Structure formats: structure tokens, C-alpha cells
Amino acid sequence: MTNDRVVRRESGGEAQQAGELRPGRLSAPEIVFFVVAAAAPMAVFVGTGPNSLRLGGVGLPGVMIVTGVILLLFASGFTAMSRYARDAGAFYAYVSRGLGVNMGNGTAVMTTVAYGACVIGFTGYIGYYASGTASSLLGVDLPWQVWSLVFAAIMAVLGFCQVDIGAKVLAILLTLEVGVIVVLVVSIWVKGGPEPVSAEPFTVDNVLLSGGSGTLFMLAFGSYLGFEGTAIYAEEAKRPERTIPIATYVAVGFLSLFYAVTLWTQSYGFGVRGSLEMAQSDDFLNMAFIQSDQYAGKAVTVALEVLIVTSFFACILAFHNACTRYLYSLGRGGLLPRGLAKTHRRMHSPYFASVVLSVITFAALGAAMVFGLDPFLQLGNWSYASGVIGIVAAQALCAFAVVFFFRRDQRGHSWFRVVGAPLLGGIGLAVAVVLIVAKFDVISGYTDMSTNMVMISVMPVSFLVGIGLGWVRRRRGHALGVCEPNESPTRAGA
């Protein structure tokens, strides 16, 4: 590597390479903040909830529980394998160890592109919401482009800094957004809805057997995006053998219960019949704000309007950090230019990868401005829709990689934890990929098949590009590094 010089930190007196991420930086709660922020619970409550009522019926709260169970099954093997493949490009190492280097290379590039697409998509979303919020609350009329550029610049600065600074920012933003939703939820239950409490959102008919069940599962899996990011921070975690499993289970468990309770409450606040009627109106995306005015008062509504913007920013920052660590890992392993593996001498952040991603984000925003794209329907939906496919497909591949890795030797773990559970989780995730592709027009907002096929093809093409890059690299006689169980992960591929 170009930056193998060893520098000695005065605090702790330990030698550390300038090209390494700083270990022991993140606690389990800080990692939870990263991955839960990536899932954007405020955006799910304000946007996905009403959209699910409109497109799939009242069953999303129950679907969130089922989806959470599938992801916990996946997490069972995923966290067990974190001990044997600890790398900033988590799926890169996991899939390589289980399914071979070619599959690992393809999965790594596809995941990197998917995370990058989400960064770009959410940058469009935040411009849209920030423009509306600033206009309605402050009387400041600035186009979405200005807001997107401002938040992209803030993201670039925080992404450049050491990782715990971003974690502290996310902790504040996430606490505020969860707190204001809890206030609204409690207000609804205290005052009571217009109809008796109903269990319809959890019945088998509405969760698994309705005509909209496929759409609901597609929306649900998209609502958990980013939870797999716990393993990305393994190299920077305190006691990663404990921190990563705890953070993963806490993140999935929290999101499952939070989504189920808050979305159920949303239906209760209008009544099941009333919520379905409201979801078919032109005001369906304002359901959370209307409900807040009715049950919690104007101050909470204003907080919702502000925090939907900060929620998207937290999401952007979380995905930016995840994507830069994949770029860093792929640069360190030689699949992409090794310059991406440079880390800051003082902060030990993957600053060069962060700068590259920020440049790509600004370029995408510039292209959107030149071509006059809508920030929500086009820049946002197109990028996000493609990213969802890539991340869920990578999760499925990772689940099957865990099964293959442990199939002959469970290494002291129970058979169910490392084979049975991830196999069931992988099957569930594979079904999710099929549902997402089949219902892709719901996310993209386009009914034109040719347009959707172009967006769908981005991820399989990225996968093939990753395999091709690995083949070229091997042809040039360079070995690609994959972490061995007892090998220092920061040296793999150096």
C-alpha cells in the first residue's frame, strides 16, 4: 500500500498504521445510531406508512414484525460470522469466505453502488422536503437544488471527520425524531381514536393473504435498509466480538417494534376505515401532520416538519459512511484504486474515499439540475429504487454465504444459529428481491417497463462489473486479500 508508514499515537502508546481505521472508536449504542438512522424511522412514519395504506391496505404493522423475524434469522448467522470475516466492506469478506472470491467481488461492487445510489437519492429527497419546510415555517423560498447542495456539503465535512463525530450528530438527530413520534403516539392512545382498537393490521388475511401483501413486504424490507451496516464498523468497534451482535439485534428488534407500534397507532388515530379513506385522498402524504395537529398540537407538527428533514440528513450521513467504508475496503484489497484506502493521519477516517463519494454526489446533483429532474419523483425515487434491490440482494447472498461457510464445521456454534436460521433468512430475503423487482413500479413511480428495466439492471450489471474487475486484477498477477479467521483484517489485501 502507498501509506504503510507506521505512526505512534501518544494516547495509549500503540503503533497504528496510517492506512488503518482507528479501532476501539465506536460503542454498541453509537453503531446502533448509525444503522437505525440509515433506516430513517421518521421518513417511514411520515411517508411509507401512508403510502402502504394507499397501495397495500392496513397490514404493514404485521408485515414489519414478519420482516423483522426474517432479518433476525439472517442476523443470527451474520453476527456469528463477524468473528471470522471482520472487514469494513462486510459483504465483501463474508461472501468471499462463503461463496468464493468472484461472488465476493461482485457483491462488494454491487453493494457499494447501491449505498452510493441511496446517498444520491436521499440527497434529492432532502432538497424536496427542506425547500417545503423552509417555505412554510420560515417564509424562505429557495429551490431544492440549494438545499440539496448545502446538505451535501455538510455531509462531506462530517464524512471527512473521524467516525465518532458523525455518530454523535446521528445520536442527537435520531433521539429527537424518535422522541417526537413517541409524543404523537402517546397523545393518540391517551385521547383515543374514532373507532375501537382493532387487530386488523396484524391478522393473517391482511398481512399474508391480501392482494397488497407483496407491496407491503416490498415497502417493509426497504424500511430496514442499513441495519446490516453494523458489521461495516467492526474494525472501528470496541470489543467487536460483542459489540456487533448486540448492535445488530438491538437495531432490528427496535425497528421491528417501533415500526409495528407507530404504524398501528397511525391507523388507530384515523380508525381503520378512516385511515384507508384518507390514504386514497390527495392529502395522503400529510396524514402524519394532520394527525399531529389533531392529537398533539401545532408545536409537535412543526417539530415533525423540521425533523423529517433532519431524518433524511441522518440517513444520508449513515449511508455515506457505509459507502466510504466499502470504497476503502475495495481500495485496500486492490479491486479498486488503492488510493481509496488512504486514511487521515490524525483522525484515521477513510477521508479519500469520502471525498470521492462527495464528488460523485455533487456531480449527480449537477446532472439532475442540468436535465431538470424532479428531486423526489426522479432523482430520489430512481436512485433509491435501484439501491433497494442491490442491498437486499447483497443481504440474501450474504445469508447463503454464511450457510456455506459453516455447513461442514459450525465452529462451536449451534447448527440452527449458523445454518438453519441464515438459510431461512436467505430464502426470505431472496423472496423479497423477487417481490421488489415485481413491484418495482411502486418504488420508482413509473409504469413504463423499459424505464424500470434500466433501473433494475443497474445492480446486476454492477455485480458483473465486480466479477470482471477481480478477473482483470488476477490476470495482472495481484492477489486479492480476504480476511482469514486469525488474520488482522486491516492487513488483508494490503
pLDDT of residue 231: 78
Does some domain include residue 386? Answer: yes
Q: What is the per-residue DSSP string for 364-431?
A: HHHHHHHTT--IIIIIIHHHHHHHHHHHHHHHHHHHHHHHHHHSS--TTS-HIIIIIHHHHHHHHHHH
pLDDT of residue 369: 96
Does some domain include residue 428? Answer: yes
Number of domains in the chain: 1
pLDDT of residue 92: 85
How many whole angstroms separate alpha carbon 333 and alpha carbon 491?
9
Q: Which DSSP symbol is given to 493?
A: T
Amino acid residing at 417: R
Q: What is the per-residue DSSP string for 62-105?
A: HHHHHHHHHHHHHHHHHHHHTTT---SSHHHHHHHHHH-HHHHH
CATH number, domain containing residue 209 = 1.20.1740.10
How many whole angstroms separate alpha carbon 398 and alpha carbon 376?
31
How many whole angstroms separate alpha carbon 157 and alpha carbon 426?
37
Close Cβ partners of 230 (under 8 Å, ≥ 6 residues apart) = 31, 32, 35, 79, 244, 247, 248, 251
pLDDT of residue 290: 94
Does some domain include residue 441? Answer: yes
Does some domain include residue 1? Answer: no
How many whole angstroms separate alpha carbon 482 and alpha carbon 144?
43
With a cut of 50, list the residues of the chain below it in pLDDT: 1-18, 478-494
Q: Which DSSP symbol is given to 8?
A: E
Burial of 205 (0-12, 13-18, 19+ CB in 10 A): exposed
pLDDT of residue 21: 64
Amino acid residing at 89: G
Does some domain include residue 247? Answer: yes
CB distance 81 to 399 below 8 Å:
no
Does some domain include residue 487? Answer: yes
How many whole angstroms separate alpha carbon 176 and alpha carbon 154?
19
Q: Which DSSP symbol is given to 283?
A: T
Domain boundaries, position 216? 6-491
Cα–Cα distances (Å) from 109 to 92, 313, 321, 437, 468, in that order, read 8, 24, 16, 20, 10
pLDDT of residue 93: 86
The 10s digit of each residue's pLDDT in 387-439 is 999 999 999 999 999 999 999 899 999 999 999 999 999 999 999 999 999 88
pLDDT of residue 162: 55
Does some domain include residue 321? Answer: yes
Amino acid residing at 69: V
The 10s digit of each residue's pLDDT in 268-294 is 999 999 999 999 998 888 899 999 999
